Structure 1
Amino acid sequence: MQKKPMPPAKSILIATGNAHKTEEISAILGTEYSVEDLAGKKFPKVAETGTTFLENATLKAVEISKLTEQWVLSDDSGLEVDALHGEPGVYSSRYAGEEGNDSANNAKLLDELSKLPADTSRTARFRCVIVIAKNGERLAHFSGAVEGKIIQQRHGEGGFGYDPLFMPDGFNQTFAQLTAEQKNTLSHRSRALELAQPWIAENV
């Protein structure tokens, strides 16, 4: 049986092929960690069959960690819109039917909200759950969220996903209009990672 390659110290594998997500996580963790993702690697795609963010993040982290000696960090995150009973939730990245089609997902969200009365509250939040695993075992998990609202039309060219439609509380700009540095101080992912960092520093 072929031995699994040994990683360098403080090496973390992000269980995603989403370059935007990897860049964001790497920036938040800082240069102390060597961060890479699944892009270009021969790992199998893990089916996200869970019904919660924790279940999906666990599935990805645990399955990938069985195939490498690296520490594996996985996140599952998405948008919860109160008026839509928490949709798109765990289906955020495939809300319109095609995985990762941000434009179609944003269009569907606006269409669903347009069917509701004009005075309907558009409160929403981004939620993120992070799972850390090694050798097929979930070792820790952390959760973060940021509250805000969905605006009427897209604004901004930065970010990804629903960022052009999400305006965090206390701001008059969307996530897509904020700088990466601004977003990384208040995003759901940064809040989950902030909780995870002491554990990572002690254990990785």
Structure 2
Amino acid sequence: MLRDAIVGGAPAEVFASANMEHPRALAEAGRGGPAVLFARNRLCALARPGLATTGADIVDRMLDPRIKLGTSTPGSDPSGDYAWAVFRRIDAQRPGSLAVLAGKALRLTGGPASPKPATERSVYGTLVERGEADLFLTYCTNARVAAREVAGARVVDLPEAIAVGADYGLAVMNGAAEGAYRLALFILSPEGQAVLARHGFTAPNTPMEER
């Protein structure tokens, strides 16, 4: 949604996205410079307090009709797109799972009608704490923050067979101020990369399984 807003004329100087294709699209539309990979992430499951699950049985839990499965909104937010990529990988192992998972997934964030999250805490932790989702597929960095905020919530790593990685890209927009270039260069610098690493992101030059 943000990419489309910028293409439509919304002001921006540096655009960063969890999907390299979005800053690339802005470059192709003539709105900015080339997209540069600046971090990597993965999808994890955030489990509500009291829900016993591990990586070994996470697929069974996701498919369980009694389990409320939260995701972001595909087509509007990269996290939702990555969740559907996980569903497709599960479907490759268990044919028919894509339809089940897509049908039951609660698109609780990232959409045009999604409620704005409170600024003082994680929206994912809030949703799990309220009982709106038993499991929430989100970036591992988000899940770890939420698990620290909600007593008893846990982060579950997805098995390698269904794991999906996210490449983060940034681009400086045309006409940006000098400070925008300084910000982009700082993010790419060793100091900026160290900040990202402290928050759980992986450096761009670290190999990650292809999506």
Same fold (TM over 0.5): no
Q: TM-score, normalised by structure 2?
A: 0.30
The answer to which structure, 1 or 2, has the higher relative contact order (CA under 8 A, 6+ apart) is 2
Q: Which has the higher strand share?
A: 1
Q: TM-score, normalised by structure 1?
A: 0.31
